[in-house]
Amino acid sequence: MRYLELSVRRSAEERHSMHGFVVEHDDYEVTRQLSRHQHAEDEHAVLFHVEGPVEPYRSEIAAVPSVVEFEIAPCPDGSFYLYVRDRITEGDRRLLDAFSQSGLVLTGPVEYRSDGTVRLVVVGPTDAVGAAVEEVPETEEVEVLAVGERLSSRVDSRLDLTGRQFEAVTAAVESGYFEVPREATLDDVAARLGCSTGAAGELLRRAERTVMADLVEGGPF
């Protein structure tokens, strides 16, 4: 079994209009597709986590012709969850078809990033993984970020963290906040995140609570 982590750079014409909106507005960083269910040939329901303000996103998505309905649930850290029932565009159908090969599993959040790329991880037999890359439309640039055996250690508590919480933990680790003795302060972490010290502390506390709860729930080693 192999895993393949990809970055697909989509043209402006191929992007969903809301991905285009994220690309064009500096207040938005990344939209993560958490779950998707295709309940009709040309329609699906999707759950996203969006890093950025609710407005003007709400106004923009309300005007998208392919959107049948949507609901937004704000988060305390300034991000929000988005449920949307959407008619599948031709651009999205081509990308979905590429990663719907027989024997292939799309795993983890699909990231629609502010630089116009889509990041995703697929798992499956070597032949199926290779076929997926070949099926990506020629108009889209594909970069292989990682490839190898699918290790159980890649499935962990990160899946339960919000994107902003994961960024806070990453900033803390990279700055040396968790070293003994500490090589960085909470102020240093906040500076990396571009937020207040109080907000950085709250993000780390919530992340620590999630990770520790998942660890305990898993039982003793």
| Domain C-terminal end among 149, 181, 203 | 149
Q: What is the pLDDT of residue 133?
A: 67
| Domain C-terminal end among 95, 118, 149 | 149
Residues 29 and 133 reside in one and the same domain = yes
Instruction: Report d(CA 131, CA 24) in Å as an integer.
Output: 32
Residues 86 and 103 reside in one and the same domain = yes
Residues 31 and 105 reside in one and the same domain = yes
Please report, rounded to a whole number, the percentage of residues in the chain having pLDDT higher than 90. 33
10: left (phi over 0), alpha (psi -120 to 50) or beta: beta
pTM over 0.75: no
**Tokens found for residue 40:** 């009709």
Q: What is the pLDDT of residue 138?
A: 61
| Domain C-terminal end among 107, 132, 149 | 149
Residues 176 and 82 reside in one and the same domain = no
Quick one: DSSP state of residue 16?
Answer: -
Instruction: Work out how many domains the chain is built from and give that number.
Output: 2
Instruction: Report d(CA 30, CA 49) in Å as an integer.
Output: 8
Q: Which residues of the chain have pLDDT under 70?
A: 101, 132-133, 135-139, 149-160, 214-221
Residues 132 and 163 reside in one and the same domain = no
Residues 100 and 123 reside in one and the same domain = yes
Instruction: Report d(CA 190, CA 198) in Å as an integer.
Output: 8
Residues 6 and 89 reside in one and the same domain = yes
Average confidence score pLDDT of the chain? 83
**Tokens found for residue 63:** 């005007």
Domain of residue 102 covers 2-149
